[in-house]
Structure 1
Amino acid sequence: MLAERLPGLLPELSRQESLEVTAVHSVAGILPPGHPLVDMPPYCAPHHSATMASLVGGGNGLPRPGAVSLSHNGVLFLDEAAEFHSSVLDALRQPLESGHVVIARAAGILRMPARFLMVLAANPCPCGRHGRGEDICECRPSSIKRYRARLSGPLMDRVDLRVTVEPVARAELLQLHTGAEKTATVAERVKAARERAAARYAETPWRTNSEVPGHELRTRWHVQPGALRKAEEDLDRGLLTARGLDRVLRVAWTLADLAARDRPSANDVNWALELRTGVRRGAVLEGIGT
């Protein structure tokens, strides 16, 4: 349910983005009747039995777009991610870095756009009850290890936010009014943050924080003095990779944009580290809503 709400939080597609998405969907033959131009971010949620070709593209004869291209400029949701074949999941690493995928077949070579927001959801173990008590989980430690190993280290290194979703308590489930923000309210805040980022990168080829190469982000746009201290300590200790540092910086810039700050503070960087590692850094969520 949470993943399905994500397209509603993203801004409407620009004219260029609409044309790119429409072209991919036209090649795939899935344009809705009477709607020749796709103007909303697409959402794609393939089943965990999906093949390599259905996920990244391919097939017999002329290659066809896969889920990574059908979700271009939108959301790719992989539910039960640990049930996907490990080789299929690892095929996502290249498009996550480059923003496109190249499929070569005897009938031709096809280069397709594939810049998407990837969301993975998985249980903590095969039975789904690990962590709720020793008497509840029925899985052996070796089974849990094999299950989690399907999500490889290089793939997880490309995941910016890792959030543990706790079971819903009975009182919360039966409560009618939770006071949560509406989708439209959050969408306006996301739109404002996107506009701040676009203004910052106005003289560059990029528009969002996720598109900026790590080297450019580190050398051209600086965080507040001393803000990277804990991230640099993690890098020195081997707890954070160079790619991970770049991704922490992108998340920190996004937090600053959501809070309408000119540049990330130490709190923004520490909060980005918390979201990536799950280790408490003393960060406080401030200025960006709930």
Structure 2
Amino acid sequence: MYSLGINKDIIDSIYKEGHPIAQYGLYMKRAKPYKVFKIPVDCGSICPNKDGTLDTEGCIFCPKMGRPIGVKYCNSKYSLKYQIEKQMENQKKKGVDKFYIYFYPGTNTYGDPERLKELWDFALSYSDVVGLSIGTRPDCLSREILDILENYVKKGYEIWIDLGIQSFHQKTLDLINRKHGVSHIIGAILECKRRGILVCGHVILGLPDETWEEMIDTAESLSKLGIDALKIYPLVVVKGTKLEEMYWKGEYRALDRKQYIKILCDFLEHTSPYVLIQRVSKDKVPEEIKVSPEWNLSRLSILNDAIKEFKRRGTRQGVYYRG
């Protein structure tokens, strides 16, 4: 129905150049005639898993007050206008031409649709903004919200939903207190695809009691649903969470670096070769709140190690995927 979508020919060219992962950054350099940057903004969005609608505790890995964001100007104490314009100004000095606005902390499709539309309309009012990325949960995509987003797609904007998935297994979702089901994940992805909205799923490796087979099944299941991109993270224990309590009681142990690199590469080998990989680790977690793991979570460092491991194996993303 819509012309926007992932170009498989570009991804094939990335593999032909010897890259083992369909990296989002490499893809964007080939897919766009201009340099783009994703501006994160904080509009003070809340979460139904913390405000009492579903629960007050949130997920076991999420601090009640949220995790500090290290990006300058991405802060709800500033207006949306100020956040966008200050970051746009800084990035234009670096040669960036066009921008996506990334509504990041919290559940950004949860709330009054009219108010949310006002925020999104304002972000898209800038001539150099070509689209939006909107972070949310699978159970917070109402028909009214999807209608609004679909209308942006019809106008030619590239709209991404950054979807907090974490796992494709109900027992894990229950254990980590997500308060939504696998059915919500499936429905959200399929409905977005029907409307031309691109989906980047967020997945955590090393969740409590998840087996290797279950993590691999998550890769294969999301690929078969046609998800467009993934952000993959190791589970991090931070202060002020239920997970921290489990850690000190000896009920949870984080993956070490070698374990994470291994399972990351295994996961990617079973992911469709045409799923873009936006990241393979977290943003830097402030040392004052990080409990475990102790190793460097740097995205670039983890990516480089994963590439080395793929070269050692002689494999690449999707080699074992059977869609």
Would the TM-score normalized by the shorter structure come out above 0.5? Answer: no
Structure 1 or 2: larger helix share?
A: 1
Q: TM-score, normalised by structure 2?
A: 0.28
Q: TM-score, normalised by structure 1?
A: 0.31
Question: Between Structure 1 and Structure 2, whose CA radius of gyration is higher?
Answer: 1
Larger RCO (CA under 8 A, 6+ residues apart): 2
